[in-house]
Amino acid sequence: MKKINNLVQEMQIKIKNHDDIVFEWIPYNQFNNIEVMGKGNFATVYSSIVYSAIWKDGPLFYDYNEKKYIRKSDKKVTLRFFNNSQNIFYKLYTEVL
């Protein structure tokens, strides 16, 4: 979990302007309507299951009229569950960056 926290902090530090994506941890209870989309592979070693879901709160966007960040709720997102994922952090880290 510490590695994930460090990644989130590192990505947030990289925000330079209002149009940059705000990278954040999303708790599982923030997702509704989770449905299996299919199965796949990642880096030829890890099998994964891909899901679609609705993110209740939604991502942060900068509202130039209000001059503050707001959330756009009920955003459709894709989730990926990795089997045997204990050692996959580095692979995910390089994919995110």
How confident is the model over 15-30, as pLDDT tens digits? Answer: 888 887 788 889 999 9
Model pLDDT, residue 55: 97
Tell me the whole-structure pTM to 2 decimals: 0.69
Mean pLDDT over each residue of the chain, to the nearest integer: 81
**Angle at 8 (CA atoms; ends 84, 27), nearest 5 degrees:** 65
| pLDDT of 88 higher than 80 | no
- Is residue 26 within 8 A of residue 34, CB to CB? The reply is no
| pLDDT of 73 higher than 90 | yes
CA distance 44 to 86: 16
Q: Give the H/E segment covering residue 46.
A: strand 46-55
For the CA atoms of the chain, what is the radius of gyration? Answer: 15
